[in-house]
Amino acid sequence: MQEKKSIHGSWASRWVFILAATGSAVGLGNIWKFPYITGENGGGAFVLVYLLCIALVGIPIMIAEVFVGRRARQSPINALMDLAEESGKSKSWGAIGFMGMLAGVLIFSFYSVVAGWVLQYIFSSASGALNGVSSEQAGELFNNLLADPTTLLMWHTIFTIMVVIVVIGGVNAGLERATRIMMPALFVLLFVLFGYGMSTDGFAQGWSFMFDFDFDKLTWDAVLVAVGHSFFTLSLGMGSIMAYGSYMPKRASIGSTVLAIGFLDTLVALVAGLAIFPIIFANGMDPAAGPGLMFISLPVAFGQMAGGQFFGTLFFVLIGVAAWTSAISLLEPTVAYLVERVGLKRSSATIALGVVVWAIGILCLGSFNFMSDVTLFGKNVFDFLDYITANIMLPLGGILIALFAGWVVKKKHASDEINLKSEGLFNLWLFVVKFIAPAAVGVVFILNL
Ligand code: TRP
């Protein structure tokens, strides 16, 4: 087959692809969500299930997404249709891409609200408002923020505009530049915070909370949350990584690249947990405090640390950037599709989509105040969207992508494109996407019903 090119551009090198895909993967999912759901689900055993899911399900599915995108060089819906056709199968497989676009829109809506909290904390921290706060005061500050829809709306709006601007810039000018400098800086600062966690007397307790496997605390619901989160944190199941893969240079090896991304993403989540839980325990806070966990623990730590005002501000800036580089990838598949299919200009497509996600986001931020009594299946809008996307749509999308890569695409096409070092490794991958990953996720689904 003659090599195709994406009309949207391509990454300058394999390294830039790693940065962009890691930028997509590493985000609020690692630093905000992972610690708080670990806290809610009892720690150790949950972490173990999450790690298993990353290795056994996440990495193989990420390989599948990258290769489908790169082979077709189009947005996910068109990529799926194209490869299905190339293998003589039905184009209706493209429907997976539609569900993915919907998931991306819904995730963006609550993601942007949380990113807005981060932006607020940059300013609270820089102004000195967090200096020396006690854990009660930190909790109160967070609750006051949630109770204030005007401020939430302002930050949600600003964040949405930031993302729209980068996505309009496109692959090279926008996505690439945003990731290059900021990601390495985030790593460094996380390790500083980890070092601080080690110096507190909560470190041993934090460590054992995360790594002592107490299976009595594990429920099937927790397992589903761990499965769902492994998709969420690797940006899988909705086409983000597929879209990014379609901009990946041909020469780069998919296997080692994906391993690098999975490793970095997991490292960030674990280090974030090891930074946050010691602070929680050293200050007698509750690890199951929920979505506010990061926002009530970190200010306390920075408040006590020498130079905390500076480091705290910088840290929230970097989390904001991590959220930014992730949110971009939530919109990219849909924007690319609108450009390919409807023929919109990139800028018009992005703005139109931006308006939609912004509007849905208002319902999410309202969950904490003016809409707190609106519930769907017993959850407020924010929790509901988080739940159905992470725990249902992404794993379902992931299973379908695995089945697509394993059963629909001809074996020869997959092995040409993935080009793993050995035949044995390829067959292992194929076995996992054909059987193991769909079965594992399917069983967890069924046991949850
Ligand atoms: N992975 C990102 C995070 O952990 C969020 C994200 C970006 C995402 N793109 C995605 C989640 C696609 C699911 C699907 O913060």
**Pairwise CA distance, residues 343 & 349, whole Å:** 9
Rounded to the nearest angstrom, the distance between the alpha carbon of 224 and the centre of ligand 1 is: 17
- Write out pLDDT tens, residues 71-122: 999 999 999 999 999 999 999 999 999 999 999 999 999 999 999 999 999 9
- Write the single-letter amino acid at 283: N
The token pair at 401 is 């992508």
Q: Whose CA is nearest to atom 6 of ligand 1?
A: 235
Fold assignment, 2-448: Amino acid/polyamine transporter I (1.20.1740)
The token pair at 394 is 């992404």
Give the mutation target among 37, 232, 242 for probing the ligand 1 site: most ligand atoms within 8 A of CB. Answer: 232
Rounded to the nearest angstrom, the distance between the alpha carbon of 329 and the centre of ligand 1 is: 8
Q: Across the chain, which distance is largest between two alpha carbons, in Å?
A: 65
| pLDDT greater than 90 at residue 306 | no
| pLDDT greater than 80 at residue 181 | no
Rounded to the nearest angstrom, the distance between the alpha carbon of 341 and the centre of ligand 1 is: 24
pLDDT band at 311 (very low <50, low <70, confident <90, very high): confident
Query: Can you give the pLDDT at residue 77?
Result: 96
Does residue 326 line the site of ligand 1, with CB under 6 A?
yes
* 129, 290 contact by CB (below 8 A): no
- Write out pLDDT tens, residues 250-270: 888 899 999 999 999 999 999
| pLDDT greater than 90 at residue 314 | no
Does residue 389 line the site of ligand 1, with CB under 6 A?
no
Mean confidence (pLDDT) of the chain: 92
Query: Can you give the pLDDT at residue 174?
Result: 65
**Pairwise CA distance, residues 109 & 128, whole Å:** 30
Give the mutation target among 235, 266, 335 for probing the ligand 1 site: most ligand atoms within 8 A of CB. Answer: 235
Closest listed residue to residue 118, CA positions, set 155, 81, 167, 87: 155
Query: Can you give the pLDDT at residue 3?
Result: 67
The token pair at 214 is 């107490």
Region of poorest pLDDT, from 160-169, 180-189, 235-244, 386-395? 180-189
Domain ranges in the chain?
Answer: 2-448
Residues near 216 by Cβ (< 8 Å), separated by ≥ 6? none
Does residue 325 line the site of ligand 1, with CB under 6 A?
no
**Pairwise CA distance, residues 110 & 386, whole Å:** 7
- Write out pLDDT tens, residues 137-162: 999 999 999 999 999 999 999 999 99
Residue 433 DSSP symbol? I
According to DSSP, the β-strands at 379-380 and 375-376 are antiparallel
| pLDDT greater than 60 at residue 2 | no
Closest listed residue to residue 117, CA positions, set 92, 141, 82, 93: 141
Query: Can you give the pLDDT at residue 10?
Result: 85
Does residue 30 line the site of ligand 1, with CB under 6 A?
yes
Query: Can you give the pLDDT at residue 388?
Result: 95
Region of poorest pLDDT, from 262-266, 333-337, 445-449? 445-449
As a whole number, mean pLDDT of residues 302-313 equals 87
Strand partners, 376: 379
Region of poorest pLDDT, from 276-280, 388-392, 417-421? 417-421
